[in-house]
Structure 1
């Protein structure tokens, strides 16, 4: 199974590091092109290659780890997904600049943390995400765990739990195997529209926890 990662910011790069540590091959891409990733892929070693977004999107399993506001730009114009697996590792938040007046917005309880929840009109983010990847089998995973924890699946007491959810059993089985290969304890939260909101940062009831399975 070939793997692509779209997004090389904090989360995407951390996912690539996680795979590299386990010897799992992947193609990493961002909107700036392969040349901008030369230093990172050299650091990560031979299993991670830089590619274009189209090259990463052509893999059997594609992890999308871009900022929510960049989804349309990152995924627009790509060829048909044709039933391939797309892992939603995004969260519907925007990040506020340090000097933004919105950092002082008292109506936003997360303003002090530099985060603002994006209003999706009452729709779960998983539904909105699916609109960007028509024809894909979407699984939600890797969005609720910090970059630091992605690098350390083994911790005192056992293995870190990594939640996932989706509507296609075969697609979830592939993601489960990937999670296990990376050293984590996979926990299936059921269908996408039920499981995904549970781990949606920053307000999902399971999103803030650092769960460990003995």
Structure 2
């Protein structure tokens, strides 16, 4: 089993650290190229290496950890997925500067003061959209529902932190669950993408931002 990571921001880097701590190997990538990842790779060697987006996308399991506004551009240029597993770690939110953007004055947006707004998906949930960008992939929604910093803290107050996942392919979900459990988390299956995906999607999913600990 090989693992790729597309995106080296907060989620991508935290996921790489999670894998390295668990002794799992992966190729991480970003739009700026492998050289820009030298510091992270030096920190996490020998299990984590840098590669191109195409190299990361060729892995058996690929975490998509890019900003929502970049997802179509990044994923749309990649080769066929041929049944490989895509972990959809995205959330349909857009970011803006609350000090300068007119969006900060939007009274209908409860998150305006934080520089975040939900993206209108026209009645679809985020994994439906991502699925369109990765035709032929087996999509599992995971690693998106909480602050990325919790990926460094599976053990909390004598218990284990809970991570949620959802998908339509049982074998693909089992592979993602194995990664979660290898990293020390309690993995909870929320069922199909159409059910579990919306439950955990930021910013308004009922299970998003909640920290659950199994004692």
Q: Say yes or no: TM over 0.5.
A: yes
Structure 2 Cα separation of the partners of residues 152 and 125 of structure 1:
26
Structure 2 Cα separation of the partners of residues 201 and 72 of structure 1:
18
Normalising to structure 2: TM-score of the pair? Answer: 0.97
Structure 1 Cα separation of the partners of residues 92 and 40 of structure 2:
26
Matched, 1:159 2:132: no
Match of 1:123 in 2: 124
Tell me the matched-pair count: 214
Q: List 4+ stretches of structure 1 deviating above 4 A.
A: none
Structure 1 Cα separation of the partners of residues 188 and 101 of structure 2:
38
What whole-Å deviation, never above 9, does each CA across 1:18-57 have from its counterpart, x for those lacking one?
1111111000000111011111111122111000000000
Match of 2:201 in 1: 200
How far is 1:82 from its partner?
0.3
Match of 1:65 in 2: 65
| Partner-residue secondary structure (3-state), 1:170 | helix
Where does 1:17-166 land on structure 2 (aligned, <5 Å)? 17-98=17-98, 99-166=100-167
How far is 1:100 from its partner?
1.3
How far is 1:157 from its partner?
3.6
Match of 1:10 in 2: 10
Unaligned runs of 5+ in 2: none
How far is 1:76 from its partner?
1.8
Structure 2 Cα separation of the partners of residues 12 and 112 of structure 1:
26
CA contact (8 A) 2:147 2:209 kept: no
Structure 2 Cα separation of the partners of residues 157 and 163 of structure 1:
20
CA contact (8 A) 2:4 2:57 kept: yes
CA contact (8 A) 2:5 2:29 kept: yes
Two-structure CA RMSD over aligned residues (Å): 0.9
Structure 2 Cα separation of the partners of residues 106 and 17 of structure 1:
38
CA contact (8 A) 1:157 1:212 kept: no
| Partner-residue secondary structure (3-state), 1:149 | helix
